[in-house]
Structure 1
Amino acid sequence: MNKLTTVFIISVILSILFISWGTISPESLDSTTSSLQSFLQVKFGWFYLLAASGFLIFAIYLIFSKYGRLRLGKETDVPEYNLITWFAMLFSAGMGIGLVFWGVAEPMFHYYDPPAGAASESDEAARLAFQYSFFHWGLHPWAIYTIVALALAFFKFRKGAPGLISAVFYPILGDRVYGPIGKIIDVIAVIATVFGVATSLGFGASQIGGGVSYLTGVENSFNTQFIIILIVTVLYMISASTGISKGIKYLSNTNIVLAILLMFFLLFAGPTNFIMDLFTSTLGSYVQNLPSMSLRMRPFEGSSWIQSWTIFYWAWWIAWAPFVGTFIARVSKGRTIREFVLGVLLVPTIFGGLWFSVFGGSAISLDMAGTGIYDIISNQGMEVALFAVLEQYPLGTIMSIIAILLISTFFITSADSATFVLGMQTTNGSMNPSTKIKLTWGVIQSSAAAVLLWSGGLGALQTASIIAAFPFAIIIIGMIISLIKAFKEEKVPPRSKKDESNTK
């Protein structure tokens, strides 16, 4: 077993205190965290918007700058994983459960409660529903992941630094990263990871319970969700014990196969022309309106829509960033910065847009036809949204079972990846944390998800993300400053002969 570090001990104690609080007094936990969430959303909503947009601008700058030619490792290093496996692993870790959970539910909610003052159930509401779904799951979240992953990979593989968040700050702090300041940075990253992943695991357990309830009539109660968490915890602990090149790799490839199977089934069983027209037009309006959506706060209208959706999402992605960033960094050695940023930004964004077009487009098309999909979601909860849509098509029950299996494998992959990341961050950056360390974090993650569901359901999951994200957003800003300083000290390799011939 890896030697117990200060970061491990402090992080475990803080996590256990939180879990104990939620177990002993769930009402107190819910009310306290809800008040803090409300304060952060109202007083610092602008900060989340500016920070996320700044991260995207910096990521785009790297694509076109000379630093894009730098390699994440030595100049002779080659990527450890092929492109397909690489995309599968980063996508499974970065979006998995959330995309399946919100694929139908979010466009439907925006359609009936649209932003920007559009009339409910109007054509304009439908257009905005998909535009904002693309926005919330597109370039901004992946830019957040990009910055954290890039910084970790650059310092780990090119500079030989430990795979710790604090190690990124060496150009700014020097040897002080090994002292109390560095420990505080790493503890914040660990706690943000615990809450960010617990949010996603809670959503996954809730949706699996919703699917089982929709198909069998078993009540989707906390007891049902708790049993699901227990079962999946055992499965992802088994996966975690096999190592990253076996369990996570194979599960990630399985996730992509199941996701594509489900998506293509609905694409061709549903209104295919409508879906593809929707995807094409929404992609255009998303790109066209990206700047205005990125900085939109509606100060004169007093609406809470932005706080409820956009700010929640930006906080969720920031809370997930230390986990997803560390994992993506781990599997990205040998790629150039330009290749890395383009891959992490564009491929998941386009796939996510297609996903929302297929699932959300099918749902709204059915609702317009009078099938009452929205009524089902309103009465039974957003957890059943996907299954309510699938049941409207041939082989609906079989597809619902496949969907439950997909959510379960995403659940296992996310939790498995997170146990590796938490183990790495609490063992001085070890690339192979011991199984006992990973299993310890596995139990804590699942316990945190269960406590959040117990104390306040889905609302508590959202609250935890927003609170955990605030301090880590500040850390990401520091990571950018440190990266820029490190880049300036690098000898950038010359352009390739092809590039040189193009400039003559």
Structure 2
Amino acid sequence: MKENASSIDKGVTIASVLCCAVFIVATLISPDAVKGLFDKLFKFFIDNFGWSYLLVVASFVVFCFGIAFSKFGSVKLGKDEDEPEFSLPAWFSMLFAAGMGIGLVFWGVAEPVYHFAGPPFAEAKTAQAGADAMRTTFFHWGLHPWACYAVVAMLLAYSHFRKGNPCQLSWILEPLIGKERVKGLMGRSIDTLAIVVTLFGVATSLGLGAMQVCTGLSKLFGIPNTVTVSILVIVVVTVLYIISAVSGVDKGIKLLSNTNMIMAFGLLVLMLFNGPTVYILKFLIESLGNYAQNIIWLSFFMDTTGGVAKHAGYEWIGAWTVFYWAWWLTWAPFVGAFIARISKGRTIKEFVMGALLAPTLLCAIWFSIMGGTAIHMELADPSVGIADATFKDVTTAIFVMFDHFPMGFFLSLMSMIIVCIFFITSADSATYVVGVMSSGGDLNPKNSLKIFWGLLCSTIAAMLLLTGGLKAIQTVSFVVSFPFMILMVFMIVAFLRSLASERV
């Protein structure tokens, strides 16, 4: 394949690689020591900075809707004459596949069932626990995560397509810090941070995806469910997503995203009509209302008195809500940059409505069908064992539920294929974005650069599995997301300063 002519920003690339190399080498030398450090860091961030995640992420939601319905909502993310490059269905498919992907399949059954069987607010395995579980799940996968993505995407698309700046996060801050600092050490440091956050953010999801696929292979084909097999899964999928990445956005990512949306929709339809259809539809409507009614309370609930922690038996807010906000923030640089790339020509209002409301509704439908079916089965007959299996190993939840359906093997196999394609599209999008970031903002980074970043990202994912699986993934999310969250606040200030010059 012909190599393009983009140049590599050696300073940013070397600094990013060194940051990642420290983690990889330390893990190879002493995985137990790294795991112990992760445990301490996890507790430190939960105890001292949990409140800041809730406050800042809630402010992102307010900012997005505030700017959309202000006089600046008609401003285009591009020149006034620019039109959208992709159709609405194609645009939505790509942003959704990049933005949620593996997590939906991984947590689709596991999270609602976990909150149902070990609820923070109600008695376990009751109808009230089921209602609370779905409301909480909607909250974790609704407006807040998509607001994190939308902030980065909107600001970067405005800076690049409308103001003509390079497609790098550092240039968003140009109205605040000036061009010289953007081109200097400060700008390089910002772009390095964005790359490191992106690599670790994607690596966490690759780790989750590998764990899910490994569990599926074990249940369906009897292959041992070990860390070694999970790492082999990462190796195989890495080859596939590198092939996709070098084929470009118009070919690889677009084709895979559309294919996966069709497959995911097919799985939902099968589950909807083979499951308790009326119950699911009622559950969806009721849970949407429950979510809308309680979103403000949930956005700022920190369990200050410790009542929920005592009831649940562990630090529930930190392990769930605060972790999720940290996780979404680690995804914000690459998902935001990718959405920015495909959103040229859309107005700010159109962008916000499309990037927040539509994905939130689709996530609600997914969890209502998957999680709602599992909760209905548990309420009707607790001996089905979905809850018990989830508490032992969250990766098994969806497969245990499928075991109770006539087409259980087919459904499990289909979900594994969806995970693998989500796996590819997420990593595909990330390698493209990191390639752009490390090429001075060039929208056509070298294929060799994308392959290099893909290999590095997969290596980090393998190291995370060696140092504790899900717990390591949670801790890394906290460590790398906190400085980026602070950076996002300054990016918004710079954006508002630049937006003030618009004539609307």
Structure 2 length as normaliser, TM-score?
0.96
Alignment-mate amino acid for residue 310 of structure 1: T
Question: 2:312 — aligned with what?
Answer: none
1:377-427 alpha-carbon deviations (Å, 9 max, x no partner):
334x11111111112112111111111110000000000100001111111
Alignment-mate amino acid for residue 186 of structure 1: D
Paired residues, number = 490
Question: 1:496 — aligned with what?
Answer: none
Out of 20, 45, 54, the residue aligned to residue 50 of structure 2 is 45
Q: 1:22-421 to 2 correspondence within 5 Å?
A: 22-116=27-121, 118-175=122-179, 176-301=181-306, 303=309, 304-370=315-381, 371-379=384-392, 381-421=393-433
1:1-45 alpha-carbon deviations (Å, 9 max, x no partner):
633421111001111221111112111111112212211111010
- The answer to whether residue 432 in structure 2 is matched with residue 427 in structure 1 is no
Alignment-mate amino acid for residue 117 of structure 2: Y
User: Hey, what's the Cα distance between the residues in 2 that align with 1:472 and 1:288?
Assistant: 30
Alignment-mate amino acid for residue 214 of structure 2: G
Question: 2:3 — aligned with what?
Answer: none
User: Hey, what's the Cα distance between the residues in 1 that align with 2:8 and 2:461?
Assistant: 27
- The answer to whether residue 477 in structure 2 is matched with residue 472 in structure 1 is no
User: Hey, what's the Cα distance between the residues in 1 that align with 2:43 and 2:260?
Assistant: 35
Task: Report the 3-state secondary structure (helix = DSSP H, G, I; strand = E; otherwise coil) of the residue aligned with 1:456.
Answer: coil
CA drift of 1:231 comes to 0.4
Alignment-mate amino acid for residue 462 of structure 1: Q
Larger mean Cα displacement after TM superposition, 65-74 or 27-36: 27-36
Alignment-mate amino acid for residue 408 of structure 2: G
- The Cα RMSD (Å) is 1.0
Q: 1:423-462 to 2 correspondence within 5 Å?
A: 423-462=435-474
Larger mean Cα displacement after TM superposition, 33-42 or 279-288: 33-42
Task: Report the 3-state secondary structure (helix = DSSP H, G, I; strand = E; otherwise coil) of the residue aligned with 2:165.
Answer: coil
2:402–2:409 Cα contact (<8 Å) kept: yes
Task: Report the 3-state secondary structure (helix = DSSP H, G, I; strand = E; otherwise coil) of the residue aligned with 2:109.
Answer: helix
Alignment-mate amino acid for residue 248 of structure 1: I
Q: Which runs of 5+ in 2 are unaligned?
A: 1-5, 310-314
User: Hey, what's the Cα distance between the residues in 2 that align with 1:4 and 1:313?
Assistant: 32
Question: 1:497 — aligned with what?
Answer: none
Larger mean Cα displacement after TM superposition, 216-225 or 43-52: 216-225
CA drift of 1:301 comes to 1.8
1:310-330 alpha-carbon deviations (Å, 9 max, x no partner):
000000001110010000000
Larger mean Cα displacement after TM superposition, 432-441 or 458-467: 458-467
1:224-282 alpha-carbon deviations (Å, 9 max, x no partner):
10110010001001111111110000000011011101111101100000001000000
2:114–2:391 Cα contact (<8 Å) kept: no
Task: Report the 3-state secondary structure (helix = DSSP H, G, I; strand = E; otherwise coil) of the residue aligned with 1:71.
Answer: coil
1:329-377 alpha-carbon deviations (Å, 9 max, x no partner):
0000000000000000011000000100000011111122321211233
1:2–1:437 Cα contact (<8 Å) kept: no
Out of 19, 28, 47, the residue aligned to residue 24 of structure 2 is 19
User: Hey, what's the Cα distance between the residues in 2 that align with 1:372 and 1:12?
Assistant: 45
Alignment-mate amino acid for residue 191 of structure 2: D
Larger mean Cα displacement after TM superposition, 136-145 or 8-17: 8-17
1:5–1:428 Cα contact (<8 Å) kept: no
Alignment-mate amino acid for residue 276 of structure 2: P
Aligned-pair identity in percent equals 46
1:147-203 alpha-carbon deviations (Å, 9 max, x no partner):
100000000000000110100000000021111111111111111111111111100
Alignment-mate amino acid for residue 202 of structure 1: G
CA drift of 1:217 comes to 2.1
Alignment-mate amino acid for residue 296 of structure 2: P
Alignment-mate amino acid for residue 375 of structure 1: D
1:201–1:411 Cα contact (<8 Å) kept: yes
Task: Report the 3-state secondary structure (helix = DSSP H, G, I; strand = E; otherwise coil) of the residue aligned with 2:331.
Answer: helix
Alignment-mate amino acid for residue 340 of structure 2: A
Alignment-mate amino acid for residue 158 of structure 2: F
CA drift of 1:60 comes to 0.9
Alignment-mate amino acid for residue 139 of structure 1: L
User: Hey, what's the Cα distance between the residues in 2 that align with 1:217 and 1:366?
Assistant: 26
1:107–1:129 Cα contact (<8 Å) kept: yes
User: Hey, what's the Cα distance between the residues in 2 that align with 1:386 and 1:121?
Assistant: 18
User: Hey, what's the Cα distance between the residues in 2 that align with 1:77 and 1:305?
Assistant: 47
User: Hey, what's the Cα distance between the residues in 2 that align with 1:123 and 1:400?
Assistant: 27
Alignment-mate amino acid for residue 80 of structure 1: E
Alignment-mate amino acid for residue 240 of structure 1: A
